[in-house]
Amino acid sequence: MKTIFQHIKGDRAIWAIVAILAIFSFMPVYSASTNLVYVVGNGSTVGHLVKHIVLLIAGFAIIYGVHKVPYRYFSGGSVLMLPIVILLLIVTLAQGTTIGGANASRWIRIPFVGIGFQTSTLAGLVLMVYVARYLAKNKEKLITFKESLLQLWLPVGAILILILPANFSTTAIVFSMILLLVFIGGYPLKFILYILGMGLFALLFFILVAKAFPDAMPNRIQTWESRIESFISGDSKENYQVEKAKIAIATGGLVGKGAGKSVQKNFLPQSSSDFIYAIIVEEYGFVGAIMVIFIYFLLLFRILITAKKATTIFATLLVIGVGLPIIFQAIINMAVAVNLFPVTGQTLPLISSGGTSIWMTCFALGMILSVSASKNETEETILDDNPLDILHETLD
């Protein structure tokens, strides 16, 4: 055990929280996967559990590898990743994969591995780092709106426009998180209002174009409309998933039915991913629901502590930029399950099954741990000659 602790750096509380969430996820995923096995006819419950465990092990490997990288390299890395992300998003729109017979143009299939990869999740992470980099570099400068349009909002807008046709919820979340980050980073408030207005105008324009040319993006606007209308009207025919989630939550009681004893998992689509929180409440009751919320808010607390202790502006903004979306995503997932928010398709970080979401969450946590471990670096380590140092200096 001492050997393990010698190799992991950074906030030990974050390591512990991540491990608790990962281990806790085993039983809900195993239980909820019966829907995929007996209703959809996909694999076995043990197979889904093993796949989930393998994905989590790979996620912990990502955390370990990323947290060993000095956080300053992520600044230049975000610039390098922007054109790659744009290319991946274009490819995704052009050849989106069909999953379970449904249009899933937000996914591409990784060759030779057979795993679907959601490029918008990677794009959101890269954007947050890029925005943190811009704000840190211009902290002491007078920011003009024209200059920031070219250097900051042009890349952000280009990527969000490419995400929007296939994934409105991710676009809205990333845009909201970027606005929050630039506000925290000292970007002028009047410019934020300009950007918010431009974003709303762009969304309206996109909807009008999609309405005018429905064959270009089939069913996307209709999907958004049906989700919002079903949320407002409460029509059970259009809101089948939420109705089953509400039944699961209502029957959970104080301590739940017990691990693996959920009934609604057999009727609730996406019970192991988007609506896994409802299964948790049904099986572990109000106590389990509050414990999950408490763990996420404890993670938020440690993220804010790490940001406060950071020694550079970029480090602080990096932690906030990649850390808050994890908590925000968790809140949205749980809010959807209890019918406080329209269905969005957002997973519960580190608990829901799924590869891309787990890996990108782990990458973000690795960056946060890299920042929290940086206080242990010596001056000699920082100034040590490294090819990545040369790349970073060139980009700056």
The pLDDT assigned to 328 comes to 94
The pLDDT assigned to 264 comes to 82
The pLDDT assigned to 275 comes to 87
CB atoms within 10 A of CB 112: 6
CB atoms within 10 A of CB 194: 15
> CA nearest 21: which of 63, 79, 72?
63
Which distant-in-sequence residues (6+ apart) come within 8 Å of 187 by Cβ?
135, 143, 148
The pLDDT assigned to 379 comes to 30
In this structure, are strands 102-104 and 97-99 parallel, antiparallel, or unpaired? antiparallel
Q: How far is CA 141 from its chain centroid?
A: 31
> CA nearest 267: which of 289, 253, 246?
246
Rounded distance between C-alpha atoms, residue 353 and residue 349, angstroms: 9
> CA nearest 318: which of 377, 390, 374?
374
What secondary structure, in 3-state letters, does the chain show? CHHHHHHCCCCHHHHHHHHHHHHHHHHHHHHHCHHHHHHCCCCCHHHHHHHHHHHHHHHHHHHHHHHCCCCCHHHHHHHHHHHHHHHHHHHHHHCCEEECCEEECCEEECCCCCCEEEHHHHHHHHHHHHHHHHHHHCCCCCCCHHHHHHHHHHHHHHHHHHHCCCCHHHHHHHHHHHHHHHHHCCCCHHHHHHHHHHHHHHHHHHHHHHHHCCCCCCCHHHHHHHHHHHHHHCCCCCCHHHHHHHHHHHCCCCCCCCCCCCCHHHCCCCCCCCCHHHHHHHHHHHHHHHHHHHHHHHHHHHHHHHHHHCCCHHHHHHHHHHHHHHHHHHHHHHHHHCCCCCCCCCCCCCCCCCHHHHHHHHHHHHHHHHHHHHHHCCHHHHHCCCHHHHHHHHHC
Rounded distance between C-alpha atoms, residue 271 and residue 250, angstroms: 16
How many angstroms separate the Cα of 51 from the Cα of each of 29, 88, 310? 10, 25, 36
The pLDDT assigned to 98 comes to 45
Which distant-in-sequence residues (6+ apart) come within 8 Å of 38 by Cβ?
266
Find the length of the chain: 396
The pLDDT assigned to 383 comes to 33
Rounded distance between C-alpha atoms, residue 14 and residue 301, angstroms: 10
- Mind listing the pLDDT tens digit of every residue in the chain (396 residues)? 556 666 778 889 999 999 999 999 999 898 888 777 765 556 677 888 888 899 999 999 999 999 999 998 999 999 999 999 999 888 888 775 444 434 455 666 666 555 667 888 899 999 999 999 999 998 888 888 888 999 999 999 999 998 888 788 889 899 999 999 999 999 999 999 999 999 999 988 888 887 776 665 655 555 656 666 565 655 544 477 788 888 888 888 888 888 888 888 887 777 777 888 999 999 999 999 999 999 999 999 999 999 999 988 999 999 999 999 999 999 999 998 888 888 777 889 999 887 788 999 999 999 999 999 886 443 333 333 343 453 444 444
The pLDDT assigned to 97 comes to 47
pTM: 0.85
The pLDDT assigned to 219 comes to 54
> CA nearest 10: which of 388, 381, 366?
366
The pLDDT assigned to 211 comes to 73
Rounded distance between C-alpha atoms, residue 376 and residue 369, angstroms: 12
> CA nearest 357: which of 328, 329, 321, 318?
329
The pLDDT assigned to 109 comes to 66
**Is the separation of the CB atoms in 330 and 348 below 8 Å?**
yes
